[in-house]
DNA sequence: CGGACGATTTAGATCGATCTAAAGGAGGCA
DNA sequence: TGCCTCCTTTAGATCGATCTAAATCGTCCG
């Protein structure tokens, strides 16, 4: 069932039938109706693959992400899809599970599928070279969420400096003096930037981060729990802790509860990402919100603009300012329910 | 940069170069090396789109899902990807947000992209006709997680009858007499089946579900919270509640805490899906586990088998038996930490 | 020495669309 | 009538791979 069949059925040429499908104004109304009727009658399905070959454009964009199980990335993915779909693009998805070698393979696979552009949340320990195949083949690409040292590419991500300062300032306002930054991938740019921002702001107040609790970790709730339990064996927690992610914060809070520390008074906790469960937790979790869905949409939009721009557009970088969603875990009163 | 260029560079024909790429044993070792060297030298990237046109196979499968923000589906998606990727398939993703009209569009879009097969978690209120385009065009497809009344198609999903019985029996064993099934889409097959199973088991014990709390809802934490708050205004909760999802259970538990009911004693709560946060909650949530990731893998495997099977294979149905993960919210002692 | 045979290689058609350049047809005007 | 538009339609090339059927080559055998 091809366009040739439709054309034959309608008594026109392939070229005309093709023009009808593409809603060209060249074709006469009467012919148009006839062709459309044939399409309907034969149950013809457009073959985008064939068209792509000729047009050198697939209307497909790749999304390479470190893992959907992380709700932050699931949200981001939804945002990407929401933005691309109405523009006629379709998303090819791939999970790297934060493995750089796997990531290289996936990028290659996407290129073989002739994606029009690539969105990528780079694996934490990515080698800076992962973008070179993209650059060499002129595949438009946008990195998001994570910045990789040494990689020059367009980027959409959160302002980690601002986020860390927001949280730190709030804790200082509560009168806390001992602050720590808990968890996160050791060499990740996000952790490094946030710790630096926190330290800078503390320094302005004659303080410094509590070293024994300012330690890296993997980004999961159970990891946060295990690490917190271990640290709690050696003494009480600091007055206030900013966690690298909400998941880690949940783990920390569980550990604190185990040893009888009251959250919000005995230890003030702030999370990062503001995932859906943050408000449902008890006590509800104060968190730095970076609006994953919005970030996905913005990154997708930037990519589309770059795809549609003629020639090569200059590298650009969009930084979104996070906000602090204040709830109970930092020691503030519960706001009106819901 | 095409295969013709590679062939020219290596001094062979396109046909030979093509054979090399496909690792055909026909071509002489020496020639093979030469071609491979040219591929390397020119930085050639295989054009799968062109190959697909000829081979009538894209190595792409579609995944149409109701929403990634639901961690259950995010897990399922990871499972699907894990299974398909090593087999050389790539996933085209689409979110329906449970809108049947949107779903029809997405299925059509996937067909235009010539997917080799389709995995679908149907929108709750899907019309039974959504599979007919697939059937008419001979696109292999497998439904998962949700069963739609009137749709005949291969299916991989949980045994809702067994799941509901598991939870119900556990609560009966605790001595509870007033049981309710709380939340879930009103006309969803899952809710209907589970309520029926619960009612049947209760009937064997001379009981029946508590009607005022056995009510439908949308599947979100805030929805569960709001509904529970409203019901609590009219009186105390039943002795035990099975929730349609963990998210709803979280909402319910928050509401119970608000009014001072102790979870596990004042009201026993069981969730459904066993999402990652279930164990991290406090009290930890007893939940019926249906292993979303495994289900995704099984569904993907079934689809691949159907794609690779010559001719049309008979409709098949794989039902996975859930298990009850016992934690604290049902009133059991906390098991050893972690 | 001619022919058969196995091992390699290849020319040319093909998949299903789009694009280019030109053809066909109706009407207007001198 | 003949010529020039303008509006529509179309034949044939093209995208980059694979497939079919046949060509080429060296060797071995009678």
Tell me if A136 and B95 make a contact (CB, 8 A cut-off). Answer: no
With a cut of 90, say whether residue B307 has pLDDT above it: yes
pLDDT of residue B165: 98
End-to-end CA distance of chain B: 55
Model confidence band, residue A282 (pLDDT cutoffs 50, 70, 90): confident
Tell me if B53 and A58 make a contact (CB, 8 A cut-off). Answer: no
A contact test, residue of B1, B5, B45 with most A CBs within 10 A: B45
Model confidence band, residue A313 (pLDDT cutoffs 50, 70, 90): confident
In A43-183, at which residue ranges do the beta strands (DSSP E only) sit?
60-65, 90-95, 117-120, 141-144, 154-158, 179-182
Positions in chain C where some atom is under 7 Å from a protein CB:
7-12, 14-20
Could you list the protein residues whose CB lies below 7 A from any atom in strand C?
Answer: A 2-4, 14-15, 18, 21-22, 44, 46-47, 50-51, 53-55; B 12-16, 19, 26-28, 30-31, 50, 53-54, 56
pLDDT tens, position by position, B238-264? 999 999 999 999 999 999 998 999 999
> Nearest 10 degrees: CA dihedral of B80, B83, B89, B90?
40
In the predicted model, what is the mean pLDDT of residues B153-167? 97
Average pLDDT, chain B: 95
SS3 A54: helix
- From the alpha carbon of A51, which nucleotide's C1' atom is closest? C17
pLDDT of residue B337: 39
d(CA B139, CA A227): 49
Model confidence band, residue A338 (pLDDT cutoffs 50, 70, 90): very low
Going across the sheet that includes B60-65, the strands are A317-320, A154-158, A141-144, A117-120, A60-65, A90-95, B90-95, B60-65, B117-120, B141-144, B154-158, B317-320
Q: Return the H-helix or E-strand segment holding B270.
A: strand B268-272
With a cut of 70, say whether residue A18 has pLDDT above it: yes
Q: Say what percent of chain A tops pLDDT 70.
A: 99
Average pLDDT, chain A: 95
How distant is the Cα of B334 from the closest Cα of chain A, in angstroms? 12
pLDDT of residue A335: 55
Cβ–Cβ contact A337 with B under 8 A: yes
Model confidence band, residue B197 (pLDDT cutoffs 50, 70, 90): very high
The answer to whether the beta carbons of residues B320 and B158 sit under 8 Å apart is yes
In the predicted model, what is the mean pLDDT of residues B11-35? 96
- The model carries a pTM of 0.94
How distant is the Cα of B97 from the closest Cα of chain A, in angstroms? 10
Model confidence band, residue B282 (pLDDT cutoffs 50, 70, 90): confident
B310 compared with B130, residue with greater pLDDT: B130
d(CA B6, CA B38): 6
Model confidence band, residue A155 (pLDDT cutoffs 50, 70, 90): very high
CA–C1' distance B278–D2 (Å)? 89
CA–C1' distance A270–D9 (Å)? 69
Name all domains of chain A by residue range, CATH numbers in brackets: 3-53 (1.10.260.40), 56-157+292-320 (3.40.50.2300), 160-291 (3.40.50.2300)
Model confidence band, residue B59 (pLDDT cutoffs 50, 70, 90): very high
With a cut of 50, say whether residue A295 has pLDDT above it: yes
| Cβ-based burial of B124 (10 A; exposed 0-12, middle 13-18, buried ≥19) | buried
Question: Helical H runs in chain B?
Answer: 3-10, 14-21, 29-42, 48-55, 71-84, 100-112, 132-136, 160-173, 189-204, 221-233, 246-258, 292-308
pLDDT of residue B310: 75
């Amino acid at each position: 069932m091809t366009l040739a069949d439709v054309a034959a059925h309608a008594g026109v040429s392939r070229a005309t039938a093709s023009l009808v499908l593409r809603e060209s104004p060249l074709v006469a109304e009467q012919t148009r109706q006839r062709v459309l009727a044939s399409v309907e009658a034969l149950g013809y399905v457009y073959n985008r693959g064939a068209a792509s070959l000729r047009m050198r454009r697939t209307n497909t964009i790749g999304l390479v992400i470190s893992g959907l199980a992380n709700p932050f990335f699931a949200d981001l993915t939804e945002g990407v899809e929401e933005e691309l779909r109405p523009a006629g693009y379709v998303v090819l998805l791939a999970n790297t599970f934060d493995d750089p070698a796997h990531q290289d393979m996936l990028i290659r696979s996407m290129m073989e599928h002739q994606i029009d552009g690539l969105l990528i949340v780079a694996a934490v320990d990515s080698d800076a070279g992962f973008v070179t195949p993209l650059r060499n083949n002129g595949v438009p690409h946008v990195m998001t969420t994570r910045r990789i040292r040494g990689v020059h590419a367009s980027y959409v991500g959160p302002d980690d400096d601002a986020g860390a300062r927001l949280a730190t300032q709030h804790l200082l306002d509560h009168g806390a003096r001992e602050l720590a930054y808990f968890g996160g991938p050791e060499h990740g740019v996000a952790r490094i930037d946030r710790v630096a921002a926190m330290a800078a702001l503390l320094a302005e107040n004659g303080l410094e981060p509590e070293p024994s609790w300012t330690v890296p970790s993997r980004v999961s709730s159970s990891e946060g729990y295990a690490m917190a339990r271990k640290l709690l064996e050696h003494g009480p927690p600091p007055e206030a802790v900013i966690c690298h992610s909400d998941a880690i914060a949940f783990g920390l809070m569980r550990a604190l509860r185990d040893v009888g520390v009251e959250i919000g008074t005995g230890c003030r906790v702030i999370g990062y990402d503001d995932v859906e469960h943050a408000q449902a937790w008890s006590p509800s979790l104060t968190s730095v919100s970076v609006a994953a869905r919005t970030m996905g949409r913005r990154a997708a939009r930037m990519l589309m603009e770059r795809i549609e721009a003629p020639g090569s557009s200059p590298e650009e970088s969009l930084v979104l300012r996070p906000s602090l969603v204040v709830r109970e875990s930092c020691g503030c009163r519960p706001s009106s329910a819901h």
